[in-house]
């Protein structure tokens, strides 16, 4: 089903799902049944839309002094979607008790805690199967704050699961944004934002399991709309075919 048809079906299902049963006992159960079916339909339609996003996605990873400005202008002026490339790791540690990482050692128990939270994130984004994360002695260190916990969690997750989890996370988030904004373009340009150059290097290689349309863009501090437009023209010329 084409994007535009999916979006029309979503609009229709949202209207049906939002209706209440009313007060008339003769029709209440029927109305509630229609609403429940519409809610189920919305889940299926979201997955269909998400599959289209996966097929059309183009990952863009800006680096350099102008990365933040590039992202801002790309989303505001060129219809791109911005996703935090570290979001899946941050979501996996956001509920960890600060007592466990403020001047505390990173140990197997703490890793297990973050993996348990990651399982919730993985379920949300539809990531059903992935390798087990194993504690290594190289992870042993005393953590001073949440940022240091984030750093070691990225290291551990990427070593065993692979940084391509960022791509699966981004597809899910972009699909949500796309439906909200009723995006129906032929390609879906997604800016993955991070200052972690090691992660960018890893993503450039590992996101290939999802798509070969991955572009690392080096930016200057004074990057302009004209510069970005030229970049996107080059990307469109080199992009791999999307049927």
pLDDT tens-place values along the chain, 243 residues long: 677 888 888 888 777 777 776 665 655 666 666 667 767 877 888 899 999 999 999 999 999 999 999 999 999 999 999 999 999 999 999 999 999 999 999 999 999 999 999 999 999 999 999 999 999 999 999 999 999 999 999 999 999 999 999 999 999 999 999 999 999 999 999 999 999 999 999 999 999 999 999 999 999 999 999 999 999 999 999 886 665
* Alpha carbon distance 59, 166 (integer Å): 11
* Alpha carbon distance 81, 187 (integer Å): 11
**Is the separation of the CB atoms in 194 and 87 below 8 Å?**
no
Identify whether 126 is part of a domain: yes
Residue 97: which domain range?
A: 87-159
- Tokens 């953590």, located at residue: 143
Identify whether 214 is part of a domain: no
Identify whether 21 is part of a domain: no
Interaxial angle between packed helices 67-77 and 225-238, expressed in degrees from 0 to 180 and rounded to the nearest 10: 80
Q: Six-digit token pair at 128?
A: 């059903």
- The pairing of strands 188-193 and 57-64 is parallel
> What is the value of pTM for the model shown?
0.90
Identify whether 28 is part of a domain: no
Q: How many domains does the chain have?
A: 1
């Amino acid at each position: 089903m084409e994007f535009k048809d999916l979006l029309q079906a979503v609009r229709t299902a949202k209207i049906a799902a939002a209706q209440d049963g009313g007060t008339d006992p003769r029709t209440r159960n029927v109305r509630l049944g229609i609403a429940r079916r519409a809610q189920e339909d919305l889940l299926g339609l979201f997955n269909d839309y998400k599959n289209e996003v996966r097929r059309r996605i183009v990952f863009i990873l800006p680096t350099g002094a102008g990365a933040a400005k590039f992202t801002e202008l790309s989303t505001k002026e060129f219809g791109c979607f911005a996703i935090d490339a570290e979001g899946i790791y941050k979501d996996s540690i956001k509920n960890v008790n600060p007592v466990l990482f403020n001047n505390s050692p990173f140990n197997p128990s703490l890793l297990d805690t973050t993996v348990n939270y990651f399982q919730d994130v993985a379920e949300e984004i539809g990531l059903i199967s992935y390798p087990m994360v194993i504690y290594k002695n190289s992870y042993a260190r005393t953590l001073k704050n949440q940022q240091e916990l984030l750093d070691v969690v990225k290291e551990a997750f990427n070593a065993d699961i692979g940084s391509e989890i960022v791509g699966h996370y981004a597809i899910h988030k972009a699909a949500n944004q796309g439906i909200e904004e009723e995006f129906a373009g032929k390609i879906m340009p997604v800016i993955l934002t991070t200052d972690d150059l090691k992660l960018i290097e890893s993503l450039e290689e590992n996101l290939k399991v999802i798509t070969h349309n991955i572009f690392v863009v080096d930016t200057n501090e004074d990057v302009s709309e004209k510069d970005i437009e030229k970049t996107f023209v080059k990307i469109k010329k080199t992009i791999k075919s999307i049927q």
